[in-house]
Each structure stands twice: as structure tokens, then as C-alpha cells.
Structure 1
């Protein structure tokens, strides 16, 4: 069965180092969010490494859906509705499916609680959501967004 859940992140092997690069559409201004997402990525990597046969079933259509969903995630963030062969799926539902799928791998890695807490990001909003809010509340002043980012990333 093709894995349609890899839609709002990108993982790729490094050609220079024995590592996998993680690319996320938004930079986390909260250390906790970065840790939660790193745990989710780590669990996804284990899930895929333990099941190499999943790559055999990926079709051209699956790849096109993944590309579309990457764009949707970048454009709509926490309000994203993903495309699937069965129709639209909210980001909350998709994240729930991903968490259910990788929960055994997350437990084996000792980070199941962190993976499950990824849902909290959707509830409270991402850094991008907060930046948009700061922009709107300031009357569309980019300096206010810069100020919010500076304040949000200060270690106290």
C-alpha cells in the first residue's frame, strides 16, 4: 500500500554524510516544537527503513499527490486539507493517521509521547500562524512580525 502520509515534510539522504536531511516548510520558533517534529521525523525514518517494500508500491500518481500536498502544506499551513485518492483529508486527520502508523516505531525509539504531542502544534498554531497574527494585528506592519520573531526566539 503506498504511503500517502508523507505530505508536509521532506526527507532525503545526504550525499556527503551518512545522514538523512529533514526539511520542514516552516522554521520552529519554539524549541519544544522543533523537538516534537524531530521525534516525528525520526519515527517516520524508522517506519520506512523497517518497511522498504512500501517504496515498491509508490506510483506516479502517488508522487504527484505528494508534490501537490507539499505545496498545500506550504500554502495553507495548519489549515491545510490534503489531497488523497479518496478525497480531501484535514491536516488533523492526516496527522492522526501518521501518528497511528508510526506509533510502534516511536515507542521503540522512546519518543511516543513527543510524537503524540505534535497534535498540540495544530491546536495552538505554528510559528507561521503567530507571524500572520502579528502582521494582521499590527495593521500589516512587517516590523511587528520581525519583533515577534525576535521575542519568540529569545532564550530567557
Structure 2
């Protein structure tokens, strides 16, 4: 798993239009303005973030698995969840997290095309390694969701 592929993968997947951190920061600021306390990052989130940083530096195939699962989940089921939350408890306020600059389906297709181009150069073993990481991706995401629901 050479560093050259990692550099390429990192460059390919920056500024895709799917990034959510600026939008999330705006939403957190809005919640703060509404009088809600914003908690410090908790163990499941910090653990997952550290894991992703480690993978991004050392294991591009595993990182791509998490990248795919996170961004495509936010854009699919996440939008439905966001809409329901807005209807039920936010007086139908649409959170910034669920807004994208540009047509979401085109952004997703662009990323999907990049993912396919990167994976074309992978060996069967590297592709399998990426797929095997899916269970960990769901476990980390599940830990965060369980925390939110508690």
C-alpha cells in the first residue's frame, strides 16, 4: 500500500462538494444561539476521528471504505433523518448540514467516478481489504448513533 496511491487518494477526495464540517459548524452555532449547550467531543467521536486520521495516513483502501460509507450515508438516509428532525423538533428549520452547493446527485456521481478510478488500480487483495473495513465503519458509526440516542 504505497504512499503514492495514498497521496493521490487524498488529493482526489478533497473539495468534492460533499464536505460537511463548515455546515455543521454553522448548525452548532445556530443551536448555541438558541440557548443549547454544545458538548465537548465524546469518546466514540474522538476515537473514530483518530482512527480515520490514522487510516488516511497509512491505509488508503480502508480509509476509502469509511469515506464512502460516511458521505453516501449523509447524502441518502441522512437527508431523510434531517427532514424528519426538522419537522418534529425544529419548526421545519432546514439545517445547513443538509444543504449542498450544487446538485447533490452530480456531486455524488463525481465522487463515485473518482472512487472507481482509484479502485481500478487496486489489486484484488486491496479491493477485498477495502470491503472488509465496512464492518468497522458501521461499528464506529453505530457507536456514535447510540451515544446520540442515549
State the TM-score, normalizing by the size of structure 1.
Answer: 0.38
Between 1 and 2, higher relative CO (CA 8 Å, sep ≥ 6) is seen in: 2
Larger strand fraction of residues: 1
